[in-house]
Structure 1
Amino acid sequence: MMKTRRKFSIFPQIENTVFFEVTIGIIANTVLLLFHILIFLFKQRPTPLDLTIGQLALIHLVMLVTVGIIATDTFGVRDWGSDFPCKSVIYVYRLMRGLSICNTCVMSIIQAVTLSPRNSYMAKFKHKSIHHYPCCLIFIWVFNMLLNGRFLVSIGATPNVTSHNLVFVSESCSQWPINYLFRYIFFSLVNIQDISFIGLMALSSGYMVSLLCRHKKQFQHLHSTSFSSKVTPEGRATRTILLLMGFFMIMYFLDCVSFFSSGVLWKNDPIKHLIQMLLGNGYATICPFVLISTEKRIIRWLKFRC
């Protein structure tokens, strides 16, 4: 245990990089969340997209806070020493990761429905989405809470004795092996969820790209080229979400490659552990900056506050 902590202490830049990413992400998500709370308080009917973005900011905020707590244990700043902190922190972190994927997918689908023309098949879902959104939200939360419930059983404090059956999660926490059948069921459900939501993201993104290309051709045909570069608010929001979809898929793919290539023995290589942490939380840190930079309401609000 002490050898690993000493190994991390040799690389102070690793600790500084991780905490810098976490701090920047927490600040950006807090600003984004506060803005959408104000929208909810002062706007009579916030759109499902506003609610989804606000919820995504909250999810990423909680996720980065738990990452910071895990990092304090990983770098030897604080030793948890008991089962309860391990179970609760790891459970919340995994829950937020699952909800991040789901809400990113929901955000993409909502924007695709909003962008669809009135005579399209998707148009009839515009009004239904407002009524079905709470049910969809409850289902996503309940499903992810149940799916990640396995961590409340399998995660515990790392014992003093060495064991080859343990999977190290952080310095103080390890994952005990569970029954093969349950492990296979949970692994299958997690992969089905990830593949399904990423597939829906890809389909909705492709649909939005086709709508934008069609709209651009119609706009250039009806108007002179001097006005063809004008971007509507819907088009600007769609391009922002498309940018986030692309960035999310790239970071998710790199995170999976990093995890499966290095295995669970990250403790033997601090550099690989740094790469895993940066890739695993990169989307939660960059996402609010992309949303803030393209949202004129937030920019005006920040200028007014400053």
Structure 2
Amino acid sequence: MNENRRLHTSSNLRNTLLSEISVGISANSILLLFHILKFFCGHRHKPTDLPIGLLALIHLLMLLIMAVTATDIFISWQGWDDITCKFLLYLYRVFRGLSLCTSSLLSVLQAIILSPRSSCLAKFKHKPPYHISCALLLLSIFYMFISSHLLVSIIATPNLTLNNFMFVTQSCSILPMNYLMQSTFSTLLALREAFLISLMALSSGYMLTLLCRHKKQVQHLHSTSLSPKSSPEIRATQSILLLLSFFVLMSILDSIISCSRTMFLDDPTFYYIQLFVVHSYATVSPFVFMSTEKHIGNLLRSMFKGVINV
């Protein structure tokens, strides 16, 4: 009975994860398509368009790799060799890192946009977009370096069952590293995450301060019976703050579940839950960005009407 219940739970978690991946791929594709069309049609560009478009592309590629990986997580076929395991899983981890880098960069950029002219950040407002691309490129190179140990530690699962191997997919496992190497790369990863999340926290706190100041000014200028519409910058800032809060929450849950996997001897149930939590941000973020773009709503409505007329 317990075994049947466990299989039923695993099946539900698998279907939930696959549904989440499908929704995320569709939403990020629409968001990326919108920004591509916006670029080629010559519409007025906002400074945040580039990082949002990059984030949609990164999440799309990450979810596509996860969709391929999911076939090997849930199907016991032992079909991948060492090269396939290393390539796909290393690429997947790099895109996860780029998601964090781009989100942090986006939060800093939005703080700069929202800053008043008297602020020390105002001088960065008119920097060209390629500065953003250069910063993201440098962060990407650094993250690819500190993730390079995966090219050694990820292997095709051997035929012998060994307790010290960590399950990744049916074909791939993580080889345990020696203490020195594991400590070095863990420290570098921790420093990277601490730095980027600190940037998020500082920029978020700064934006919250500016929003509170703006709210007080609006209340002073307008009566409470009136509900003046917030500017596009304010709405964009609120969306980014919402996303950053969601990202931090999912990161905390990811850490808790990772510890639980270790305590419960790599239980597959915790692994499926962890995968669901990890990809929640990539699935939710495009909907938040699309909610602030009126043009996307108009585009989706026109597409929907076109499909009905056909």
Q: Distance between the aligned counterparts of 2:264 and 2:40, measured in 1?
A: 48
Q: Distance between the aligned counterparts of 1:222 and 1:68, measured in 2?
A: 52
1:209-228 per-position Cα deviation (integer Å, ceiling 9, x unaligned): 11011111112222333444
Q: Distance between the aligned counterparts of 1:210 and 1:10, measured in 2?
A: 45
| Correspondences of 1:107-118 after superposition (within 5 Å) | 107-118=106-117
SS in 2 for 1:165: coil
Q: Distance between the aligned counterparts of 1:98 and 1:145, measured in 2?
A: 9
1:27-80 per-position Cα deviation (integer Å, ceiling 9, x unaligned): 001001111111222237744410100110111111111211221111116543
Answer whether contact 1:56 1:100 (CA < 8 A) is retained. yes
One-letter amino acid matched to 2:83: F
Shift of 1:167: 2.0
SS in 1 for 2:173: strand
| TM-score, with length taken from structure 2 | 0.90
SS in 1 for 2:126: helix
Shift of 1:257: 0.7
Residue of structure 1 in register with 2:149 after alignment: 150
Instruction: Structure 2: state its 5+ residue gaps.
Output: 305-310
SS in 2 for 1:156: strand
Aligned residues: 300
Distance 1:246 1:231, change over 3 A: same
Q: Distance between the aligned counterparts of 2:184 and 2:109, measured in 1?
A: 30
Answer whether contact 2:115 2:121 (CA < 8 A) is retained. yes
Answer whether contact 2:253 2:277 (CA < 8 A) is retained. yes
Q: Distance between the aligned counterparts of 1:134 and 1:79, measured in 2?
A: 39
| Correspondences of 1:178-193 after superposition (within 5 Å) | 178-193=177-192
One-letter amino acid matched to 2:94: L
Deviates more, 1:41-50 or 1:214-223: 41-50
| TM-score, with length taken from structure 1 | 0.91
Deviates more, 1:130-139 or 1:245-254: 130-139
Distance 1:10 1:79, change over 3 A: farther
One-letter amino acid matched to 2:98: L
1:210-248 per-position Cα deviation (integer Å, ceiling 9, x unaligned): 101111111222233344442111111010001001110
Answer whether contact 2:254 2:274 (CA < 8 A) is retained. yes
| Correspondences of 1:42-121 after superposition (within 5 Å) | 42-43=41-42, 46-76=45-75, 79-121=78-120
Q: Distance between the aligned counterparts of 1:77 and 1:57, measured in 2?
A: 31
Q: Distance between the aligned counterparts of 2:243 and 2:9, measured in 1?
A: 36
Shift of 1:9: 7.5
Answer whether contact 1:166 1:175 (CA < 8 A) is retained. yes
Shift of 1:266: 6.2
Shift of 1:156: 1.1
SS in 1 for 2:169: coil
Q: Distance between the aligned counterparts of 1:264 and 1:137, measured in 2?
A: 36
Distance 1:78 1:239, change over 3 A: farther
Residue of structure 2 in register with 1:278 after alignment: 276
Shift of 1:134: 2.4
Q: Distance between the aligned counterparts of 1:8 and 1:113, measured in 2?
A: 50
| Correspondences of 1:1-306 after superposition (within 5 Å) | 11-43=10-42, 46-76=45-75, 79-128=78-127, 130-263=129-262, 269-306=267-304
One-letter amino acid matched to 2:285: C
Residue of structure 1 in register with 2:307 after alignment: none
Q: Distance between the aligned counterparts of 1:281 and 1:8, measured in 2?
A: 23
Q: Distance between the aligned counterparts of 1:44 and 1:299, measured in 2?
A: 16
Q: Distance between the aligned counterparts of 1:109 and 1:227, measured in 2?
A: 32
One-letter amino acid matched to 1:245: L
SS in 2 for 1:170: coil
Answer whether contact 2:17 2:272 (CA < 8 A) is retained. yes
Q: Distance between the aligned counterparts of 2:9 and 2:103, measured in 1?
A: 37
After TM superposition, what 4+ stretches of structure 1 lie above 4 angstroms from structure 2?
A: 7-10, 264-267
One-letter amino acid matched to 2:275: M
Instruction: Structure 1: state its 5+ residue gaps.
Output: none
Shift of 1:164: 3.4
Q: Distance between the aligned counterparts of 1:153 and 1:80, measured in 2?
A: 19
Q: Distance between the aligned counterparts of 2:119 and 2:10, measured in 1?
A: 57
Answer whether contact 2:76 2:170 (CA < 8 A) is retained. no
Q: Distance between the aligned counterparts of 2:211 and 2:228, measured in 1?
A: 13
Answer whether contact 2:260 2:270 (CA < 8 A) is retained. no
SS in 1 for 2:255: helix
Answer whether contact 2:31 2:286 (CA < 8 A) is retained. yes
Answer whether contact 1:33 1:57 (CA < 8 A) is retained. yes
